[in-house]
Structure 1
Amino acid sequence: MPFGELQLRLGWDTAMSTWLAAGICGKTRIAELGGVPYLLPLVNKKKVYDLNKIAKEIKLPGAFILGAGAGPFHTLGFNSEFMPVIQTESEHKAPVNGSYFARVNPADGGCQLEKYSSKYRGFGCALLANLFASEGQPGKVIEVKAKRRTGELNFVTCMRQTIENHYGDKPVGMGGTFLVQKGKVKTHIMPAEFSSCPLNCDEDVNKWLHFYEMTAPLVCLPVFVSRDPGFDLRLEHTHLFSHHGEGGHYHYDTTPDSVEYLGYFLPAEFLYRIDQPKETHSFGRD
């Protein structure tokens, strides 16, 4: 295991106590919406989703949803990185949107992080999303502590590959939240404008994206699957936000000697693949 110190144990979910739900337990699901082929080589602007409807489609109306996706450009008016934190609607509760989005600041090219509900309404996302859904109940979860990275793989990839090595051909999906408690991480944010020229490889995509180094504390929303059972899945996808104005797509930590992570996760009982692209490719998935 390429982390100096790693502990896995069952613990009580306390990280979510200040969020919209009491926890991340109860009828857990992973859902992947759309996919990178709806963004690259060229955007398909017909691909928009309503997370209240998605909750019903995964047979969990009222679900508490976390994850990573592309922002609802049809509502915002621009492209962005989206960090869904949503209590979806049910017969007894109105929906609440506690999501964040990060865009490239048009003034200086830096990160501009905003809470979605401060200016906008609705419960949408677009193009692609990897979601972890549950009843939002308290309960036992898997707590992971790690610090001092000694290998090349990032925090999420280490967990995913460890699970794959243990379970082999049996796919296992997980989600939840983790904190980067100390250190810095490499992130990216997509430009506000979709590319008018086809992006046909990872090199093209990396030239298009804006990359940043962001500083702890950072709240991360990972969704990962040990292996793809044949549904063209994005094996791991993590977005992050903070309370000091930084957010985006997580790549890896840039301070391996000082980084510290604390995470809470659960395996998903079911996987839902929604609106899978008919034509696909393998680039742009880092």
Structure 2
Amino acid sequence: MADTESCPLHFPALEDIVGVLERGLKKNYAEVAVKVVDCPDLTQDPFGFPVKGLCGKSRIADVGGVPYLVPTARPDKVYNINTVAKKIDLPGAYLLGAGACSHEKVGMNAEMIFSIKSESPTSPAINGNYLASVNPADNSCLLEKYREKHSDHDFGLLSNLYASEGNPGKVIEVKVKRRTGKDNFVSCMRKTLKDHYGDKSVGMGGSFIIQEGKAKLHVMGFDLRLEHTHCFSHHGEGGHYHYDTTPDSVQYLGYFHPAEYLYRIDKPLVTHMVGRD
């Protein structure tokens, strides 16, 4: 892979972020509860992740970029999650987030939903990734566990990842019900943090559950993508999260943690502003 750039991020205390998010979310949801809690065991349902938590040497890793997809796809842009973990100075890291599958390995446009513990000197990688594609038989969503069809740990074009040691610890729990504003769940939190912290760059990652309601997802196949969320379900659907479609009944529960550092890997030399929201 090409050169990697890195920089420290502003890292507020969890209690400070709680107050900021609570004030911002109340402008967009009828019911809001934000607090610091012990991270639930993420190896259990409904998460089923390969690690217990989101804590320990947290990072944001932004790999590749939209210019490698639009206007002309670059199928030669293939990355390996174990190499990414080394590039961010955290071999054995747990990484979750959103990105694209490698066309070379999958053979079609497909969304990657990342939940993977990279290899370390003492243990192999544990791949809990999902891939979402369009079923050619009937154009429905096809959600599959990546390791059930592929033995590699590759992806293509781009990814936007939160990485950590995957340890238990304190995280921010966010519960909201009934959307009253126009922003989706993730956008509301991002804009709230931006409005409060201004020029101090804050990065945050985590996972959330849509406990009630439905959402619109799509399957597609330093110059950063500021917001990128992929979802999987236990009923066979997954993809890129846009917004919920049932604002009067929607209910979210999420667990999040700020990142200490940002790593930018293989930044495109020529860029544009397509797909940044």
TM bucket normalised to smaller: 0.7 to 0.9
Alignment of 1:103-252 (within 5 A): 103-191=133-221, 231-252=222-243
- Whether 1:50 and 2:80 are equivalent positions in the alignment is yes
What's 1:217 paired with? none
**Range 71-80 or range 238-247, more displaced:** 71-80
Gaps of 5+ in 2: 1-26
Select the residue among 95, 111, 120 that pairs with 2:125. Answer: 95
Q: Is the 8 A contact 2:41 2:52 kept in 1?
A: no
What displacement does 1:243 show?
1.1
What displacement does 1:160 show?
0.6
Whole-angstrom distance in 2 between the partners of 1:99 and 1:68? 10
What's 1:3 paired with? 29
Select the residue among 265, 268, 272 that pairs with 1:277. Answer: 268
Task: Look up the equivalent residue of 1:75 and give its one-letter code.
Answer: K
Whole-angstrom distance in 2 between the partners of 1:54 and 1:114? 23
The CA RMSD over aligned residues, in Å, is 0.9
Task: Look up the equivalent residue of 1:180 and give its one-letter code.
Answer: I
Q: Is the 8 A contact 1:11 1:140 kept in 2?
A: yes
Select the residue among 24, 30, 44 that pairs with 2:54. Answer: 24
What displacement does 1:284 show?
2.6
Q: Is the 8 A contact 1:111 1:245 kept in 2?
A: yes
Q: Is the 8 A contact 1:15 1:264 kept in 2?
A: no
Identity percentage of aligned residues:
58
**Aligned partner of residue 236 in structure 1, secondary structure:** coil
What displacement does 1:77 show?
1.4
Whole-angstrom distance in 2 between the partners of 1:84 and 1:238? 10
Whole-angstrom distance in 1 between the partners of 2:103 and 2:204? 27
Alignment of 1:44-83 (within 5 A): 44-83=74-113
Whole-angstrom distance in 2 between the partners of 1:136 and 1:66? 10
- Whether 1:265 and 2:271 are equivalent positions in the alignment is no
Whole-angstrom distance in 1 between the partners of 2:78 and 2:251? 36
What's 1:254 paired with? 245
**Aligned partner of residue 163 in structure 1, secondary structure:** helix
What displacement does 1:15 show?
5.3
Deviations 1:138-170 (CA, angstroms, capped at 9, x unpaired): 000000001100010000011011111111110
What TM-score do you get using the length of structure 2 for normalisation?
0.87
What's 2:18 paired with? none
What displacement does 1:285 show?
3.1
Gaps of 5+ in 1: 192-230
What displacement does 1:17 show?
3.1
**Aligned partner of residue 228 in structure 2, secondary structure:** strand
**Aligned partner of residue 84 in structure 1, secondary structure:** strand
